[in-house]
Amino acid sequence: MIAITLTIRQIKLLDDILKQLIKKTQFLASKEFVQHGKTSVFNHSLNVATISLKLACFFNINIDEKSLITGALLHDYFLYDWHDKQRCPSWHCFKHPKIALENAKRDFYVNTIEEDIIINHMFPLTLNVPKTKEGWLVSIADKFCCIVETFRLQKYQTRQWNIGRQAKNPQISKPNIMNEPRRILEASALR
């Protein structure tokens, strides 16, 4: 298996965008909602951003990294527990991209690439086809992360991101293709 490592510049960019979202939006609230298996929406979004960047590096695709990261982090910014059928909109899988986009536009500036990522990330489940390279990368990374998180594939599983507050059970898994040297990310986010 080929290990793809993000550059320090890419990790710093991810860190900077994450700090902006934590400061200007309700992004930290996504830690309270489970996305797949035991993975929170927060961790899922960070995993999707990381894997999207790695895919772009692996395939040597020239992308707008800032837009890719921002769109990936906000792609599931729906801010509710989709497992709670009393509070969740019916047909969540089809409706949440629009809700995420509305929330993102309400709380943050979203450019056209980021909008494409958020609204089209559920392709092919929805018939909204991504129109940008960044949109395609996030859509593919989202499916990969969904499978890894749902089936807890240890070989690819990432450790939980520990940003904004201490994790209840901080554990570090063995290094793998999804793990990055996140000491930089964690240390600067907790300052």
State pLDDT tens for residues 170-191.
Answer: 333 333 334 444 443 443 344 3
pLDDT for 91 equals: 62
Number of Cβ within 10 Å of residue 14's Cβ equals 26
The long-range contacts involving 122-128, CB below 8 angstroms and separated by at least 24 positions, are 122/93, 122/94, 122/96, 122/97, 125/93, 125/94, 126/93, 126/94, 126/97, 128/97
Quick: pLDDT tens for 25-75. Answer: 989 988 877 665 677 889 899 999 999 999 999 999 999 999 999 999 999
pLDDT band (50, 70, 90) for residue 111 = very high
Fold of 8-189: Hypothetical protein af1432 (1.10.3210)
Angle in degrees, 0-180, between the axes of helices 133-150 and 41-58, rounded to the nearest 10:
130
